[in-house]
Amino acid sequence: MADIIEMPKLSDTMTVGTLVKWLKKEGDTVVSGDMLAEVETDKATMELECFFDGTLVKIFVAEGTEVELGAALCAVGEPGEKVDAPAPSAEPEPAAAEPAAAPPPISAPEPPPLPVAAPPAAPSAPAEPGKRIKISPLAKKLAAEKGIDPSRITGTGTGGRIVRADVLDAEKNGVGGGMTGSVYMTKGPIQEDKVVKVSNMRATIARRLVESKTQLPHFYVDMEVDAGPLMALRAQLNEGLKDEGIKLSVNDFIMKAAAEALRKVPAVNCSWEGNQVRHHSRAHVSFAVAIDDGLITPVIFDAHVKSVFDIGPEAKTLAKTARAGKLQPKQFTGGTFCVSNMGMMGVNSFKAIINPPNAAILAVGTTVEKPVVVNGQITIGQRMNLTLSCDHRVVDGGVGAQFLGELKDLIEKPALLLV
């Protein structure tokens, strides 16, 4: 008798899943541990594992179908066995095992943050001349900036869609040239008139942001800091360590400074839980990464006990994995504080929306050269704007200002971050 594989509960808040892509076809021999399909949940796109040995005798669900928990997806049995789709199970499969707890103090179960993009589908051939190019807005903008012709790029996103990573690979491999200058002009509509069904991930982002903005009483604290000492130290370290392949970003220092500021002002490292406030003993600092269909926040666990030299490589690996759509839930859940940096995009300042149940999020702007007054004299300085968004149910104005003051002191005395 054939074994039926049903839609499992792959996240704690999942009610339906979308069968994105079958990795096996009817008639294929499968063994326990094989990956049968890609399933998009409300948080991530994950692979569906086979738990039986045999032949994939029947697929009940077509690619792109939204499926209720417990509904039959496929059957594994003997070659040639005839199987009809059974009725959905009364109860869904139990949730996947929770991720292992992260490591020491600065504790509690944390919220699921914003979800991760779908893993790339199998590569497709470059677009034929005259054929509409499927390309994400971010990838299109990047291609224009780099003077790369999208029609000569092979897309690895879902359905052959060109994503940001494809443009970067094309630049690295010398593929896709043909545009004149960094910006190209074209005629016709700016895009096709169409209605696109919202993905589970985008729907979850929309729901969480509306909940955050309407249910959390946000207030904002803004402070300008002298970024000159930090920029100088970073340049010295990167020059001295380049032979070891180490290159630290400004954000690596910001995350380390945020963790240390949380140690000094732990009231920010808290969460609202209705009739109680949870105080977290460890600083799990998440950071925002832009992906093709939204935003994901990988977590640097125990950032308060890690050096900036630990945080830098870990953050780069997490960001790369996020952009490839391969983050696991345990890598983007459990943050207690978040950093969102748009400085690399030339943004001077902005106000970020809090990622519940965090009580605050730090928005980081670009470093700007500007005239400043030092000891009564006008000189050229490097200034960075920081904006802290706070949940007023947990963090009062004075506490938010104290946190930013500690953060400012650490950024302006960056040698303290190397201790």
Q: Which residues have a catalytic role annotated?
A: 392, 396
DSSP H or E segment with residue 138:
helix 137-146
Cβ neighbours of residue 219 closer than 8 Å, sequence gap 6 or more: 389, 390, 392, 397, 400
Residues in contact with 164: Cβ distance below 8 Å, sequence separation at least 6, in sequence order: 136, 138, 139, 142, 292, 323
Strands 45-49 and 35-40 come out as antiparallel
**DSSP calls for 93-115:** PPPPPPPPPP-----------S-
Asked if residue 335 lies in contact with residue 110, where contact means CB atoms within 8 angstroms, the answer is yes
Q: Do 13 and 42 meet the contact criterion of CB atoms below 8 Å apart? A: yes
Q: Are 158 and 200 in contact, with CB atoms under 8 Å apart?
A: no
The two three-digit tokens of residue 61, written as one number? 């669900």
Alpha carbon distance 409, 351 (integer Å): 21
E strands, 240-311, are 270-272, 277-279, 285-287, 289-291, 294-296, 299-300
Handedness of CA 367, 372, 373, 377 (dihedral sign): positive
Q: Is 32 helix (H, G, I), strand (E, B) or coil?
A: coil
Rounded to the nearest 10 degrees, the angle between the axes of helix 228-240 and helix 397-412 is 50
Closest residue by Cα to residue 11 from 42, 51, 47, 53: 42
Report the distance separating Cα 321 and Cα 311, nearest Å. 15
Q: How many helices (H) and strands (E) does the chain have?
A: 8, 18
